[in-house]
Chains A and B, each alone.
Chain A
Amino acid sequence: MTALVAPVAGIGRLTLAAFAAIGRIALFGGRAVSHLVRPPFYPREFLQAVLAIGWFSLPVVGLTALFTGGALALQIYSGGARFNAESVVPSIVAIGMVRELGPVLGGLMVAARVASSIAAEIGTMKVTEQIDALTTLSTNPLKYLVTPRILAAVLVMPLLVAVGDSIGIYGGYLVGVHQLGFNPATYLKNTVDYLQSWDVVSGMIKGAVFGFIVALMGCYHGMQSGRGAQGVGRATKAAVQAAAVAILAANFLLTSLFFTQ
């Protein structure tokens, strides 16, 4: 009987632990967001976060988008050739980039770059008692370290996504015109004609949500970091894993919400 019950009990324990973790992260996020409207505010920390999350992520997001746009053009062209639909390359590249690949790949790249760096920085601060020092200096660590990063990520991620979309579409254009023989003017016209403003806006909304997830996971796991280098390493790994999974799950939910009748 015990042998039968043990696996069920194990599943139960895991489920409870998962829900408890989600609850803790939700409470942490809620508390951090509540500080957005309660002074004091830390504009210097916010601007530093904008720079770290937005500006310094541009190269990686841009390069990812460029290659993805190019590869997408090749895939659609070769796939479309099966039913004589090669001409849809510009519109499908544009729609695919702005609705899906721009926000998701941008989010994942930022998760890898930013969630890890936030978790490592805050984790190291915790291990070296800098978080305690903040408290003794009458500064709320959540307000000083977490809230500015979350706000910055939510505001800059849509812009990063927009830049990534544009570069991705340009990548498709380069491949389409120089490798697949499309007429440049026709390619651009098809791109613009079939793209709707909601395609772009929905992608940017996704970007804002993914930005929130990235900063939240980085900060939460940093704050939960264990002792020593190993503790910080674990926190960094957990932040990236959690951010990546949460981004993909949120993407599915948002796509269902935005694009199903």
Chain B
Amino acid sequence: MIQLQGVHKAFGRNKVLRGVDLTVPTGESMVIIGGSGTGKSVALKCVLGLVTPDAGKITLDGQDVMRADRDAFLARFGMLFQGGALFDSLSVWQNVAFRLQRGAAKRPKAEAREIAIEKLRRVGLKPEVADLFPAELSGGMQKRVGLARAIAAEPEIIFFDEPTTGLDPIMAGVINELIREIVVEMGATAMTITHDMTSVRAIADKVAMLHDGVIKWTGPVADLDHSGDPYLDQFIHGRAEGPIAAVR
């Protein structure tokens, strides 16, 4: 279980997180929604230790993430970055098998390649893609390679940062289905940030709405349409009028 308690983070005078409280139960898929610049990515990066919170506490299964052994802690995670964040200098299979070629999870090269090709197949990519370089792939393919890399070492927890941004509706649907299948199949805990409502309904067990640096609403995805929360209602219906200022 991932728990954020009173997490604050500011960049200079810009207070991004102002006391975020959120619980992500083990094995559930939590989607954090909210407008652009509301701190969704920062919250995710705080959990991973990529950004250090100014105040508050983040725990994973009761253990403070800041005091955890970094390698052992990060070995439990997989992450799909918004732009894929594939390493340009490495081929596709080397990207996917990155963790399998280094550190505690290191495997022989042939085995790592085999696992990479199997994961590529899992995300709908042919084995021929394995020897290409990221620059030779389309945006959708890069996202799928990123997804294959995130699941390569079969992590317990997977983070998805804007998994469908920049994709056409069909490819976005494919990615959403893949994420749902993988999360269910692996029994992983998932935390996704997005403002794509189709994604939310496809991926989420629970939804949390982040606005003004705090969680305004959280609940099961089934309650999304009758939450009674004015912030959530305005956001999911995409209305210009409401408590959320259209011009920020």
Chain A contacts to B: CB under 8 angstroms: 40, 48, 124-125, 128-130, 132-139
Contacts and interface: CB of A to CB of B under 8 A. Distances in A.
Contacts of A139: 98, 102-103
Given A137-B98, A138-B71, A138-B75, A132 B45 contact: yes
Interface of B: 45, 48-50, 70-71, 74-75, 77-79, 81-83, 85-89, 98-99, 102-104, 149
Nearest to B100: A137
Contact of A40 (B75, B82, B89, B103): B103
A115 B44 CA distance: 33
B99 A137 contact: yes
Contacts of A130: 85-88
A113 to B, nearest CB: 18
A129 B99 contact: no
B83 A128 contact: yes
Contacts of B89: 48
Nearest to A136: B79
A138 B81 CA distance: 15
Given A138-B103, A139-B103, A129 B81 contact: yes
Given A40-B103, A136-B50, A137-B98, A128 B71 contact: no
B50 A135 contact: yes
B86 to A, nearest CB: 8
Contacts of A124: 88
B165 to A, nearest CB: 13
Nearest to A124: B88
Given A138-B71, A138-B74, A133 B103 contact: no
A244 B50 CA distance: 32
B134 to A, nearest CB: 10
Nearest to B71: A138
A138 B75 CA distance: 7
A124 B86 CA distance: 12
Given A40-B102, A139-B103, A129 B74 contact: no
B102 A133 contact: no
Nearest to A135: B50
Contacts of A137: 74, 98-99, 102, 149
Q: Which of A125, A129, A136 has the most CB atoms of chain B within a 10 A radius of its CB?
A: A136
Contacts of A134: 87
